[in-house]
Amino acid sequence: MKYVYTFLFLALLFSCKTEKKENVIEKTTITETTESNSLIYPEEIHFRSLRQVTFGGDNAEAYWSFDDKQIIFQSNFKNWGVECDQMFLMNADDTFNGTQPKMISTGLGRTTCAYFLPDNKSWVYGSTHLGGPKCPPAPLRHEGKYVWPIYDSYDIFVADLEGNITAQLTNEPGYDAEATVSPKGDKIVFTSMRTGDLELFTMNLDGTDVKQITSELGYDGGAFFSPNGTQLIFRSSRPKTEEEIKEYKDLLAEGLVKPTNMELYICNSDGSDLRQLTNLGNANWSPFFHPSGKKILFSSNYESERGFPFNLYMIDVDGKNLKRITHGETFDAFPVFSNDGKKLIFSSNRNNGGGRDTNLFIAEWQD
């Protein structure tokens, strides 16, 4: 789920950062291996080049086709005729500065988390359109607290690249969304409320053989498979104290969650060997496996005193060697590697003239 624009307000919503704990950050050494590019900060040594793709609105959750030739992303850019997040298709080398990509969602309801299927001709995504044609409201505050809405009208659908819905994969009561596909091309992982809590499940590409992966109280979401399909990385806001548990349950009963304290968890694709990967404090989220399968790239504001900036970090799958990757002053998130491991697409507030637009950027990656 994405609420990019709301993260710009976190500075107002955090009174102070939560305690930083176990993981220790590795310092970046600046070298001369990065090409001259005004979009790249000097410390961003893993970017050989960086290209801006979009130029307005909130654009995020961009995912590559299995052959790396196309990308689907979601945007609420009003200049493209939408009122809330809809899905758009682009070629991997496209740029949209004054032009508009092809919308491939229905334009009804609100959509989230589109992901290509292995045939490169179809894709899965979450949509609220069965609950009504209008965009459901997106509350940002609840009794002074920053929240995300969990729409019970979300279900997961399959569509072709013309936007025609060809299948509905979920029809349980409550929230079903945040679907991503294994690089092996055999399984989908998603978040569902079907048990009364926000847990991870897997299913076959046709929606059969649904299996529950997590079972602890808390919002488990934003899951991705490792390159070989054997592991899952995800973020969770798991309440611990009686006060936290009560707050979580009370908000969930109203269709809301508070995402300001999240850590990363990793497990096998069947849910076994579950362990907490980060223990940093604040919000650690939008994780994605490095092509090696041995590291995780993610977004965090754990170094922030008052909510921002969010930057990209990398950590080994054993929780060691934490390293900062981006060095922006506002927001970098949603990092996703191409399947060949050569490029990284992510969302950023850089180069937006000091406004609130969150745009897509594609970097040539170098280890």
pLDDT 10s digit of each residue in the chain, 367 long? Answer: 655 544 443 433 333 444 555 665 665 544 444 455 789 999 999 999 999 999 999 999 999 999 999 999 999 999 999 999 999 999 999 999 999 999 999 999 999 999 999 999 999 999 999 999 999 988 776 677 789 999 999 999 999 999 999 999 999 999 999 999 999 999 999 999 999 999 999 999 999 999 999 999 999 999 999 999 999 999 999 999 999 999 999 999 999 999 889 999 999 999 999 999 999 999 999 999 999 999 999 999 999 887 789 999 999 999 999 999 999 999 999 999 999 999 999 999 999 988 999 999 999 999 9
Return the closest-CA partner of residue 348 out of 55, 97, 130. 55
How is 8-63 classified by DSSP, letter by letter?
GGHHHH-SSPPPP-S--EEPPPP-S-SPP-TTS-TT-TTEEEEEE-B-SSBEEEEE
- As a whole number of angstroms, the distance between CA 70 and CA 64 comes to 6
- As a whole number of angstroms, the distance between CA 329 and CA 347 comes to 13
- Provide the 10 A C-beta neighbour count for residue 244: 16
Strand partners, 176: 192
Residue-level pLDDT at 138: 83
302: left (phi over 0), alpha (psi -120 to 50) or beta: alpha
Residue-level pLDDT at 34: 45
- As a whole number of angstroms, the distance between CA 251 and CA 249 comes to 5
Residue-level pLDDT at 25: 65
Complete edge-to-edge strand list for the sheet that includes strand 70-75: 59-64, 70-75, 86-91, 102-103
Residue-level pLDDT at 21: 55
Q: Domains in the chain: how many in total?
A: 1
Q: What's the domain range around 84? A: 4-365
Residue-level pLDDT at 27: 55
Residue-level pLDDT at 144: 72
- Domain containing residue 138: CATH number: 2.120.10.30
Residue-level pLDDT at 6: 47
Residue-level pLDDT at 14: 35
280 neighbors 20 (Cβ within 8 angstroms): yes
169 neighbors 156 (Cβ within 8 angstroms): yes
